[in-house]
Chains A and B, each alone.
Chain A
């Protein structure tokens, strides 16, 4: 079976600076794939190249269809939810309006109950301004909002950024839950390689805009180079 998402030799640049030099990777239906690497390795740019928030060259094939070079709204409509760096919360809107925006593309009344199963605390905070939530809560809100898009693929950019370890674990627990119970495929960019490899089935390690290593999480965990560079033991 063809993969859900396939990048073929994708490159991207910011002005004169090339950030990706021909990255190829796949995400299968229903799996979690982690994208690891140091700062500036091109992890965020890879997600942005898929969603179309940065101009790219090379092919991106999603669910059997080549994604054109049109903007992020088209990618979103194709079924990819991208929670960007910094979470992309509408800080001045209420929690509930943020959730309503998640269901923007869907016709009819959105089903908030299924989201509240995973994020029950949102109900009590519905009228709070989203910008006043804590970092962890904002990350959860971004997840809930992305889930309301009913995507086939969820792309998360550094969900652990600025969060306490316990909160990070909670975020990844929910991601794992969504993956197992809803069959949602996930492509997650993460600095914290240890927690990412525990959640993901496979991973790619990027170095200076190229895929350096790839394999199953178990294989990577026992790889000496990965261990010393990213896991620190």
Chain B
């Protein structure tokens, strides 16, 4: 039983990292039907920015963790909006495939750029949480895992509140459902898409900064995470933000359970298992667990 809860908690922590990146993918997919393959590298790049804020003196001092964390979120937001304006906006009338290719180009460019600026070797990235554990009823609960889960889920909840309760959030949902109708109501959809990229970049930055303390900082640190996020998003349904979060969390827990109870599933097998799940979902239920096939009344 103790083993079960430990696997559950560490799975939820990993899963929350997948979930926030999966949500970033879904945000962009829902608005434009484009899979942003650069999402992981954007996250990696902003994590390096956090690293730079933490380790190099700027204006005479280095930042402590939380100021650097929040400043990175702001920079990530501007970065995401900027990428949409400079790279994606000019492709407004291009096919989805063209835009997807552009995001793949972006992936390669960001990866190379990070290696060039910060060198490709692994770096240690600090965690704001202590490495100690709480012991409750014999179960060791890692403060690191709890903190990771708390921070990522808090970001997801803030974003949900934004979409649910603000006028701008409503307009973004409406623009995703029917862009032309939204524009006819005065919505500047093009800027809302940029805003979506900004939010996606912020979610990515959170997942990057939360995953770096355990996985180390390197230009390829988010490549596996992106695949887990992708599998999570497919599992939940690419059209469903709730599904993406549930899918990411579910995948994290599932992999952790398999690692604990099914002995051949070593860490090396995590990626193949995730891809297998992705494949099975696509074959059996392409719309995902939370997605639904869109039916419209004419």
Which residues from chain A sit less than 8 Å from chain B, CB to CB? 51, 53, 71-73, 75-77, 81-82, 84, 86, 88-93, 97, 100-102, 104-105, 131-132, 135, 138, 145, 149, 162
B162-218 residues with Cβ-Cβ distance < 8 A to A are 167, 170-171, 173-174, 177-178, 180-189
| Contact indicator A145/B177 (Cβ below 8 Å) | no
CB distance from A166 to the nearest CB of B (A): 19
Query: Cβ of A131: which chain B residues have Cβ within 8 Å of it?
Result: 296-297
Known: A104-B186, A162-B298. Contact between A88 and B180, CB under 8 A? yes
Size range of the interface on B? 20 to 34
- Is B174 within 8 A of A101, CB to CB? yes
- Are B185's CB and A149's CB within 8 A? yes
Within residues 111 to 161 of chain B, which ones have a CB less than 8 A from any CB in chain A?
none
Asked if residues B188 and A84 are in contact (CB atoms below 8 Å), the reply is no
Query: Chain B contacts of A105 at CB under 8 A?
Result: 185-186
Q: 27 interchain pairs (CB within 8 A)?
A: A51-B184, A53-B180, A72-B180, A72-B183, A72-B184, A73-B184, A76-B185, A76-B186, A84-B180, A84-B181, A86-B298, A88-B178, A88-B180, A88-B184, A90-B173, A92-B177, A93-B177, A97-B173, A100-B167, A101-B185, A101-B187, A104-B187, A105-B185, A132-B297, A138-B297, A145-B185, A162-B298
Distance A197 CA – B185 CA, assembled complex (angstroms): 28
Q: Is the CB of B182 within 8 A of A101?
A: yes
- In the complex the two chains form, what is the Cα distance from A108 to B167 in whole Å? 11
Pick the contact of B177: A81, A82, A91, A149 (CB < 8 A).
Answer: A91
CB 8 Å contact bits of B267-298 with A (1 = contact, 0 = none): 00000000000000000000000000000111
The interface centre, meaning the residue of B178, B185, B188, B298 with most chain A CB atoms within 10 A of its CB, is B185
Taking a contact as CB atoms under 8 Å apart, the answer to whether B186 and A93 are in contact is no
User: What's the nearest-Cβ distance from chain B to residue A152, in Å?
Assistant: 14
Residues of A within 8 A of B171 (CB): 101, 104
Of A72, A90, A101, A105, most buried by chain B (CB within 10 Å of CB) is A101
A88 lies within 8 A of B181 (CB): yes
Which B residue's beta carbon lies closest to that of A87? B181
The distance in angstroms between the C-alpha atoms of A73 and B187, with both chains bound, is 6
A190→B181 CA distance, assembly (Å): 20
**Cα distance A77–B298 in the bound complex, in angstroms:** 28
Residues of chain A within 8 A of B174, CB atoms compared: 90, 93, 97, 101
**A-side contacts of B188, CB under 8 Å:** 73
Chain A residues, CB < 8 A from B185: 76, 101-102, 104-105, 145, 149
List chain B residues, Cβ under 8 A from A76: 183-186
Residues of A close to B178: CB separation below 8 A: 88-91
Residues of A within 8 A of B170 (CB): 93, 97, 100-101, 104
Q: Which residues of A contact B189 (CB under 8 A)?
A: 73
Which residues from A are CB-within-8-Å of B181?
84, 88-90
Chain B residue, CB-CB nearest to A138: B297
Q: In the complex, what distance in Å separates the CA atom of A23 from the CA atom of B187?
A: 28
In the bound assembly, the distance between CA atoms of A84 and B185 in angstroms comes to: 11
Give complex CA distance A97, B175 in Å: 12
In the assembled complex, how far is the CB of residue B170 from the closest CB belonging to chain A, in whole angstroms? 6
- The answer to whether B184 and A84 have CB atoms under 8 Å apart is yes
User: 4 closest A-B pairs (Cβ-Cβ)?
Assistant: A88-B181, A76-B186, A105-B186, A72-B183
State A181–B241 Cα separation when bound (angstroms): 44
A77 and B184: CB pair below 8 A?
Answer: no
The smallest beta-carbon distance between B160 and chain A, in angstroms, is 15
- How far is it, in angstroms, between the C-alpha of A88 and the C-alpha of B173 when the chains are bound? 14
Cα(A90)–Cα(B296), bound, Å: 11
* Closest partner residue, chain A, to B297 (CB atom): A131
Q: Closest approach, in angstroms, between the C-beta of B29 and any C-beta of chain A?
A: 15
- Told that A97-B170, A104-B170, A135-B297 touch, could you supply 14 new A-B pairs with CB distance under 8 A? A71-B183, A72-B180, A72-B183, A73-B183, A73-B184, A73-B189, A81-B184, A84-B184, A88-B180, A89-B178, A91-B177, A100-B170, A131-B297, A149-B185
Q: How long is the Cα–Cα vector from A40 to B171 in the complex, in angstroms?
A: 33
Q: Which residues of B contact A145 (CB under 8 A)?
A: 185
Residues of B within 8 A of A88 (CB): 178, 180-181, 184
Q: How far is the CA of A34 from the CA of B173 in the complex (A)?
A: 34
A residues less than 8 Å from B167 (CB atoms): 100, 104
Which residues on A sit within 8 Å (CB–CB) of B297?
Answer: 91, 131-132, 135, 138
B177 touches A73 (CB 8 A): no
Residues of A within 8 A of B177 (CB): 90-93
